[in-house]
Structure 1
Amino acid sequence: MYKRSKGANGTGRVGGHDTAGLLPLPRGAAGGLTSAEVARRTGRGEVNDMPSRSGRTVGDVVRANFCTRINAIIGVLLVVALIVGPLHDALFGVVILANTLIGVVLEMRAKRTLDRLAAVGEARPTVRRDGRALTLAPAHIVLGDVVELGPGDRIVVDGTVLEAKGLEVDASLLTGEAEPVLKRPGDDVMSGSFVVSGSGAFVARRVGRATRAARLAEEAHRRTLVTSELRDGINTLITYVTYALVPVGIVLFLGQLGAGDGGVSEAARRTIAGIVPMVPEGLVLLTAVVFAAGAVRLGKRDCLVQELPAIEGLARVDTVCLDKTGTLTETSMDVSVVHEIEQGVRVGDVLGALGALDDRPEAGMRAVIDAYPAPKGWTEKESVPFSAARRWGGATLTDAAGTTVTWLLGAADALLAPGHSVLVAVDAYGERGLRVLLLARCSLPLSEVLAAPERGPYATAPVALVVIAQRVREEAPAALRYFAEQGVETKVISGDNALSVGAVARGLDLPGGDRHLDARQLPDEPSQLSDVVADHAVFGRVSPHRKLDIVTALRSRGRTVAMMGDGVNDVLALKAADVAVCMGTGSPAARAEAQIVLLDDDFSSLPSVVAEGRRVIGNIEGVAHLFLTKTTYSALLAVLVVLVDVPYPFLPRQLTLIGALTIGIPAFVLALAPNTVRPQGHFVRRVLRFAVPCGVVTALATMGSYAVAHAVYDGDREAAASAAALTLFLVGLCVLSIVARPRTWWRVLLVLAMTLCFAVVQLVPSLRTFFQLELVGTAAPCAAVGIAVVAGALLESAWRIARRGSVDAAERDLSGGGVLR
């Protein structure tokens, strides 16, 4: 034993145990490094310097916002505009710079929030130094440190095992081999693996970027772990636009050379005016802003979003898989009653002795420890820690009288042969929602039971049933109702008795809570497994591998699955799910695999994450409608002026103004607005179904207005362009009013504010002169307004058709057995 000191968090507890009263450890390897050795190794840079998973570095954020394909295109056009035209026509460059700076500021704010939350939820391994045990951040571990291990611990550096007591390590996240491996002194352990059962310590041999986990993390950094339809769709749209820019720009430039009389400079200026609006410059920016703002909002609710696209992913989820203990019920439990089967056994002393051997007790054993203190005079000869895979643990103990007995404690159906009479009593307790542990005497040595586990049930004699009451989380019923109302199916998968899990589910009014199944009865054939999993809502006696099978089976049916768990037995399923969610008090291994961590253990926060995801999806889709409508009408206007062989009607500054009032400013407001619309799939198709017809109507209306005004003003291009600009603004305003639905007071006020801003430009002489927007007379302006009204009616029809198509597609999804996604 050794003395434990206060850790970096200032507490006097390590791993959930009191740290006072423990004796100092002798000097040497087992006692860890000295402070002087740590200082020397830190000075040499032999520290576990790892990038934070919570977000990008400051440099990454700045580069991601400035060094983009969009900014490169805009930058080239800006340079050309500064060379060939007046400074007024380079106004679009200032707007892009301002937008990018806003994006950097907002994303940095989100990064600070995520880093703060990540520090709170970070796993803090126990490290021995100067003969004491300290809890440290992983980044403070140095080469040669002695790191302690216990159940659920995630191994954060590579090393060599120094001590081992039933130490089983699962490296499936690194190697793909799902079977835990028993580790002995001298064996290697790799960062990224986690402890399934037992305890021990190892010496750090590789730290920082030299570790196995660091190399894998660098590979993972080049790919996103969470699928984002929004990100992929926007990248696809940007690619389409980029391919279209070059040919359209060349054709427009050549057309302007022939149609105008200002030479190359004027042709270049008019080409820039036609090309700049085609670039959806704010779309990528606002996507990052919306995700970042969502992370900040969730951070205020103590939700750590370790991968931003997970916000979107959870909003698209149609199936949520929940572990019972720690999610629906609290991790703390109470021993309700001990049902003695064999008389004359001091059950309390046996339970106290077994509990004293467990350094990292699971919830059931913690209840036993709290109820029964360790007896005096008992010694341990051999022990096996509890394992979720075995579902039992045990020890060979010698009591104060010198009698040696092997005791096992765990699930009754794992320790008794099928059909045993005691199992009837166990089921009776389970139907009341109670958890039951069996205390049994074993006639075989522990080593033989481990070597041939099938012999265990026939070599045990039941001694007592330890009945444990579970505390249901107060927030669980409301969260389950929310998912049911949103059409999200909930499935409970637990290692406990199926009857007990089903009783808890029924008590929470879980839809389908009466359809429970023992996971040991699940078929192995994939198609049959998929059907059975779909037909049941509650599963008990689920091993870690079966949890993985259930999640995989659901995904094979086209489901989008969120897995919520907090134990080491949930890690494989968390890894396989579309979105992984973990409680803040979950095991370090589970928290490391989760994209979303509920730091305050509040299950009711999960609906907030779903709602935030819906806000993200709905708002980005609305913003995309605006930007892609502008891209469409800009491209079509460029083609039309070439076909009719006329100069491009607008100057860059005019389109900058119209774009800012109908798209840029409103998009920022709408991107952060509340939105509860249920997500649907096919993002690119849905956006184009709206944007292309709207863009076509806008371009035709604008060119029609220009033609009418050109005739009215007898060829005065500047006056005709002002009338066409009025039509373009009004039609753009119609598109904005459609995207900004439903018509709440603030959305109406937003449209009116943009209208007022355009009116101010017309009424203030200096602004009117700056933008060269001079409406002359009444005939052409009235015609421009009339054309805009007709175009608005056509836009309304296009919107209704697009909306009807979306509803039809959703109904087809539902009729096919799926859900809206």
Structure 2
Amino acid sequence: MSIATHEPLRSGLTSAEVEDRRAKGLSNDVPDRASRSVKDIIRANVFTRINAILGVLFILVVATGSIIDGMFGLLIVANSSIGIIQETRAKRTLDKLAIVSQAKPVVRRDGKAHAVSPKEVVLDDIIELGPGDQIVVDGSVLESSSLEIDESLLTGEADPVHKVIDAEVLSGSYVVAGSGAYRATKVGRDAYAAKLADEASKFTLVHSELQSGINKILKFITYLMIPAGALIIYNQLFSSGQSWRPAVNGMVAALVPMVPEGLVLMTSIAFAVGVVRLGQRQCLVQELPAIEGLARVDVVCADKTGTLTENGMRLSELQRAEGAESEETLQKALASMAADDPRPNASVQALAEAFPDKPGWVESGVAPFSSAKKWSGLSYGDNGHWLLGAPDILLDPDSDMARNAEHIGSAGLRVLLLGSSDRPVDAPDAPGVVTPQALVVLEQRVRPDARDTLDYFASQNVSVKVISGDNAVSVGAVAGSLGLPGGDRPIDARQLPSEREQLAATLEESTTFGRVRPDQKREMVAALQSRGHTVAMTGDGVNDVLALKDADIGVSMGSGSPATRAVAQIVLLDNKFATLPYVVAEGRRVIGNIERVSNLFLTKTVYSVLLAFLIGLTGVVSQIFGFDPVPYPFLPRHVTIAAWFTIGIPAFILSLAPNNERARTGFVPRVMRLAIPSGIVIGVATFVSYLIAYAGPDATDEQVVQAGTAALITLIMIAVWVLAIVARPYNWWKIVLIAGSVVGYLILFALPFTRTFFKLDPTNVDVTVAALIIGAIGMVLVEIASRIGVRMASANDADTAD
């Protein structure tokens, strides 16, 4: 659909026509991100499987009239509230940062060019294009000056497509060379990009190894809960001989701790807090798994320009060639080329600052810069045909001038050749015969924080590969000055083998590469991945897009092209390579801490399921052999306080603590290696302690409370020791945390008020001493199991390394 306009097409729409289209709904009004709405966040955090289970059990307990035993119902409120608050905060941070990093298409309105947000584009808008610009809506080309568009993100075809007048352009593609303008023909949900929007940038954990591991564990636990729950229900309601109120309370007390309600909550909190923390450092996380993914990275491929060096440049020297035109003519040529470049890069901007006075030459031909040919050019009729590009591309490598350019580049300076051609720069066979005129020497400042960043990665056993399109010697000079191992031995990518296995071997041995083409960057990423490496790629130019897309984690600079920001999982809005260590550290903190707290929650689930099985089996066996069944030892309030200081509070603190342990695969086996034996020891020890203390079906209420207290003492002792194991290695605050847990329980068991409130009675010396002895034995067994697990893990790691 199109609407006629009374203004000349090339001057764009008028303000009135724009408002008319907006009123008719013909604007590009699509969601900025695929993040969930606040309503969806609330619904997702309230209506969960875990909340449903706890809700039903809460209703059963309330029906017995024992409100105190329904304290676990507060978990429903906590689960929902904390999840809603944290995800809403994370969404707010992400959405604000997304707006900051958003591409700003330039549209013509009322005869002037304006940068607007993609949402403000309307049907029939004239949108200008230059290198690196992303196509935000579908359209038809109106103007083309050597316009080349990369549609690889849409079609998979890596070669840029030359776009002529009336050619179709699709949203989601981007400009790699030339300039032009196009008219918007499809906007909003009709545009191609809108159909891909839901997959482009999501607030999700879909591809997280951590999340998939937790889901596997929860699925396994669900299978165990069904028979264990059936047994305990049968025992409590039909075999125990108790009245329905204590029977239901015991059943609920057995079922509640089986649900690892805090594990999913702590995972969500850890990731959400990570996103907010990184957001405060001006780091936009486009996909949540990127936090975890970057923590697993062992190779970082970094561009030189804009990553190790600052984007800004300045002219250092202009070295005329022998027999060249006068310096005045050369300065006029450079001034004209800089002024007539519609999308100047950092090098051209430096020339424009050095030569601000344009001589008035009239442009007759243009050849835009592209990373494939490494040069750009402008023809000025009788004033000549001028080229600006890489000396090692345009010069004879054996010439004195080429050697001089290489010598200058070896000092870390950027060198361009200003040359003249014997034919128009837009001729099919350009550049033709190139006559060197001058070497343009530019200074490029090394980022002051680059060395510290490289040192950090070295200390974390993360290899850094400098991959640049610049001269190899110049790249090597920068890398060497930063102390990068192998930086003083750069490799020219034109000499690299094309066979993947040989390329991978070269990449393993070397660290610094120059004159790398965009397709080579992509091949280098693939070669590293073929050796089992997890690769992060940083970049800011359109020539980095393919490699960013294929890398395990793509990291773009905020000042980079819209195309690179679109495909990257992480955008460094402050343009600082030094922010990456914080991202890695945040990922490691999240992964390491979730693994720690998983041990606590899953240990509780294992011993709860086992204890329910053992108690339930007594009911079945009692029917067969005719002896009295054993009721469940705990009230729901006992289960609640058992989790307070062994899991709940410690897990929350541990999930947010610093943790620099390197991320490893095998999350599920490592967690279960401690959780299963520890849970079995706690379950069996608690059962034995209860059997010793249980006075039979004719026991007084006092004896029943004493038996339950004894079992609880045994459980808490071993559970606190599991916490002590999980908290290793110790530091002052972890020691305080463990000591605080012990003191908390001593207070609960010592104060008359808390004893009465929680129905605790440790006054039976014989029963309490037996519980303490069994608890001590359990602590020793858990310690032995832990040490065996550590040795098994070390052996597995050694086998993996071999």
TM over 0.5, shorter chain: yes
Deviation at 1:177, TM superposition (A): 0.8
Matched, 1:121 2:101: yes
> Aligned-pair distance for 1:253?
1.8
* Among 329, 346, 357, the residue aligned to 2:309: 329
State how far apart, in whole Å, the 1-side matches of 2:350 and 2:202 are: 45
Q: Percent identity?
A: 51
1:171 match: 151
Match of 1:651 in 2: 635
Letter in 2 for 1:530: A
Residue in structure 1 matched with residue 504 of structure 2 by the alignment: 530
By how many angstroms is 1:417 displaced? Answer: 4.9
Tell me which residue corresponds to 1:705: 689
Q: Tell me the CA shift for residue 663 of structure 1.
A: 0.8
Q: Which residue of 1 aligns with 2:798?
A: 811
Aligned to 2:599, which of 625, 632, 637?
625
Shift of 1:39: 2.1
Corresponding residue to 1:734 among 708, 713, 721? 721
Tell me the CA shift for residue 426 of structure 1. Answer: 2.2
Which residue of structure 2 aligns with residue 384 of structure 1?
367
Q: Which residue of structure 1 aligns with residue 194 of structure 2?
A: 214
Q: Distance in 1 between matches of 2:695 and 2:248?
A: 26
Q: Separation in 1 of the partners of 2:78 and 2:437?
A: 74
CA distance in 2, matches of 1:72, 1:551: 46
Q: What secondary structure is seen at the aligned counterpart in 2 of 1:532? A: helix
User: Which consecutive unaligned segments of at least 5 residues does structure 1 have?
Assistant: 1-25, 817-821
User: What's the counterpart of residue 626 of structure 2?
Assistant: none
Q: The residue matched to 2:179 in structure 1 has which SS?
A: strand
Give the SS at the match of 1:307: coil
Q: 2:735 aligns with which of 748, 753, 757?
A: 748
Displacement of 1:805 in angstroms is 2.7
Change (3 A) 1:224 1:658: closer
Structure 1 match to 2:163: 183
Separation in structure 1 between the aligned mates of residue 794 and residue 184 of structure 2, nearest angstrom: 58
TM-score (norm 1): 0.91
Distance (whole Å) between structure 1 residues aligned to residue 779 and residue 531 of structure 2: 43
The separation in 2 between residues aligned to 1:377 and 1:105, in whole angstroms, is: 61
Q: Contact (CA 8 Å) 2:709, 2:760: kept in 1 or not?
A: yes
331, 334, 349: which one aligns with 1:351: 334
| Aligned AA (2:127) | V
Once the two structures are TM-superposed, the CA of residue 380 in structure 1 deviates from its matched residue by 0.7
SS at match of 1:644: helix
What residue identity is the alignment partner of 2:779?
Answer: G
Whether 1:660 aligns to 2:660 is no
* Equivalent runs, 1:336-415 vs 2, <5 Å: 336-341=316-321, 342-345=323-326, 346-398=329-381, 403-415=382-394
Counterpart-to-counterpart distance in 2, 1:81 and 1:203:
66
SS in 1 for 2:364: strand
Instruction: Decide whether the 8 Å contact of 1:712 with 1:779 is kept in 2.
Output: no
Unaligned segments of structure 2, at least 5 residues: 1-5, 620-629
Distance 2:207 2:526 in 1: 16
Q: What is the alpha-carbon distance in structure 1 between the residues aligned to residue 230 and residue 689 of structure 2? A: 26
The corresponding residue for 1:791 is: 778
Is contact 2:128–2:180 with CA below 8 Å preserved after alignment?
yes
Give the match for residue 319 of structure 1.
299
| CA distance in structure 1 between the aligned counterparts of 2:723 and 2:55, rounded to whole angstroms | 27
Q: CA 1:219–1:586 in structure 2 vs 1: closer, same or farther (change >3 Å)?
A: closer
SS at match of 1:53: coil
Does structure 2 conserve the Cα–Cα contact (< 8 Å) formed by 1:54 and 1:114? no
2:40 counterpart of 1:53? no
* Conservation of the 8 A alpha-carbon contact between 2:36 and 2:203: no
Q: Distance in 2 between matches of 1:67 and 1:545?
A: 48
> Does residue 725 in structure 1 map to residue 727 in structure 2?
no
Q: Distance in 2 between matches of 1:309 and 1:720?
A: 47
Change (3 A) 1:54 1:468: farther
Tell me the equivalent position of 1:521.
Answer: 495
Task: Work out the CA distance in 1 between the residues paired with 2:182 and 2:55.
Answer: 54
SS in 1 for 2:659: coil
1:253 matched to 2:244? The reply is no
1:212–1:85 Cα change, 3 Å? farther
**Counterpart position of 1:436:** 415
Q: 1:264 to 1:778 in 2, by over 3 A?
A: closer
- CA deviation after TM superposition for structure 1 residue 767, in Å: 3.7
Q: 1:536 offset after TM fit, Å?
A: 1.4
Aligned residue number for residue 424 of structure 1: 403
Paired AA for residue 324 in structure 2: Q
Measured against aligned partners, the alpha-carbon deviations of 1:471-526 in whole angstroms (never above 9, x if no partner) come to 11111011011111111000000000111101110011012212321112222222
Structure-1 separation of matches of 2:179 and 2:298: 39
Q: Which amino acid letter does the alignment assign opposite residue 179 of structure 1?
A: D
1:291 equivalent in alignment to 2:271: yes
Q: Distance in 1 between matches of 2:64 and 2:36?
A: 39
Name 1:635's counterpart in structure 2. Answer: 609
Query: What is the deviation of 1:744?
Result: 2.5
8 A Cα contact 2:27 2:188, kept in partner: yes
What is the alpha-carbon distance in structure 2 between the residues aligned to residue 33 and residue 568 of structure 1? Answer: 30
Q: Alignment partner of 2:172: what SS?
A: coil
Q: Tell me the equivalent position of 1:23.
A: none
The alpha-carbon deviation at position 216 of structure 1 amounts to 1.5
Could you tell me whether the CA contact under 8 Å between 1:336 and 1:468 is conserved in 2?
yes
Quote the Cα distance in structure 2 between the aligned partners of 1:772 and 1:323.
Answer: 66
1:147 is paired with a residue of what secondary structure? strand
Q: 2: CA distance between counterparts of 1:221 and 1:547?
A: 24
Residue 418 of structure 1: how far off its partner (Å): 5.3
Are 2:236 and 2:242, in contact at CA under 8 Å, matched by a contact in 1?
Answer: no
Between 1:37-46 and 1:510-519, the stretch displaced more is: 37-46
Paired residue type of 1:754: S
What does the per-residue CA deviation read over 1:75-109, in whole Å, with 9 as the maximum and x for residues that have no partner?
Answer: 33334444456333332222232232012112212
Kindly report which structure 2 residues correspond to 1:667-686, keeping only aligned pairs within 5 A, or say none.
667-686=651-670
Deviation at 1:55, TM superposition (A): 4.1
Name the CA distance, whole Å, in 2 between partners of 1:790 and 1:518: 66
Q: Give, as a single letter, the amino acid of the residue that structure 1 aligns with 2:188.
A: G
Change in Cα spacing, 1:688 to 1:388, as seen in structure 2 (3 Å) is: same
Counterparts of 1:256 and 1:762 in 2: how far apart (Å)? 27
Tell me: CA distance 1:247–1:644, structure 2 relative to 1, closer, same or farther (3 Å).
closer
- Asked if structure 2 preserves the Cα contact closer than 8 Å seen for 1:85 and 1:269, the reply is no
Instruction: Give the deviation of 1:36 after TM superposition.
Output: 2.0
Residue range with higher mean Cα deviation, 437-446 or 265-274: 265-274
Deviates more, 1:704-713 or 1:795-804: 704-713
Aligned CA RMSD, in angstroms, stands at 2.3
In structure 2, the CA distance between the partners of 1:630 and 1:168, relative to structure 1 (3 Å rule), is same
Contact 2:335 2:359 (C-alpha < 8 Å) held by counterparts:
no
Worse-matched range after superposition: 188-197 or 774-783 = 774-783
Look up the match of 1:769.
756
Amino acid at match of 2:132: G
Residue 255 of structure 1 aligns with an amino acid whose one-letter code is N
Q: Over residues 680-727 of structure 1, what are the superposed CA-to-partner deviations in whole Å (9 max), with x where a residue is unaligned?
A: 220011100111111111111111211121259985433211110111
Matched with 1:136 is 116
What amino acid does structure 2 have at the position aligned with 1:697?
V
Contact persistence 1:283–1:627 (CA under 8 A)? yes
What's the offset of the Cα at 1:421?
A: 4.7
Residue type of the alignment partner of 2:108: R
Deviation of 1:735 after TM superposition, in Å, equals 1.2
Q: Letter of the aligned partner of 1:381 in structure 2?
A: S
The DSSP-based 3-state class of the residue aligned with 1:166 is strand
Does the aligned pair in 1 maintain the 2:33–2:197 contact within 8 Å? no
Shift in CA distance, 395/696, structure 1 to aligned 2, threshold 3 Å: same
